[in-house]
Structures are given as C-alpha cells and as structure tokens.
Amino acid sequence: MLKLNKIQYNNCIFACKIKAMRFKVHFFFFLFLVLFFSCPEDDGDGLVEIPENDRTEQQIIDRDSLLGY
C-alpha cells in the first residue's frame, strides 16, 4: 500500500477540490449557455389589443353572471 506523507496527502486533496470546482464552473457555464441560446427572441408581433367594452354593458354582463352563479 502506498503511504503518503501529510504534504502529499494535502496536495492530493487540494487537487481533487480544484477538479471539483472546475467541473462546477464548467457545468454552470454550460447550463447558462444552453438557457441563453434556447430562449426565443421576442418579436413583439404577438401582442393583440382587445378593445374595452362599454362600462354599463360590462356591468350588466357581470351582474347576470353573478346572479347565475
């Protein structure tokens, strides 16, 4: 069995932590890129304006709906 002194052991642990941190950074960077490029651009053409009803007409419709409920 290979015996490591304290300095070699600490260097091994440090190297493993560096690899894990590097993996996390690359993973989150890749995730950010995927999310950034997968979102479609907003064209702004999809907006549909709905004209407002007359207030008295809407009150009559709402009152009938509430009474029917």
Per-residue DSSP letters for 7-64? HHHHHHHHHHHHHHHHHHHHHHHHHHHHHHHHSPPP-STT----PPPPHHHHHHHHHH
pTM: 0.46
Q: Dig out the tokens for 7 from the structure.
A: 């300095």
Which residues touch 61 (CB under 8 Å, ≥6 apart)? 53
Tell me if 10 sits within 8 A of 2, measured CB to CB. Answer: no
pLDDT at 42 over 80: no
Report the percentage of the chain scoring pLDDT > 70.
Answer: 91
pLDDT tens digits, residue range 3-17?
Answer: 777 887 888 888 888
- Per-residue confidence band for 55, with pLDDT thresholds at 50, 70 and 90: very high
Q: Could you state, in order of their start, the residue ranges of all structural domains in the chain?
A: 1-37
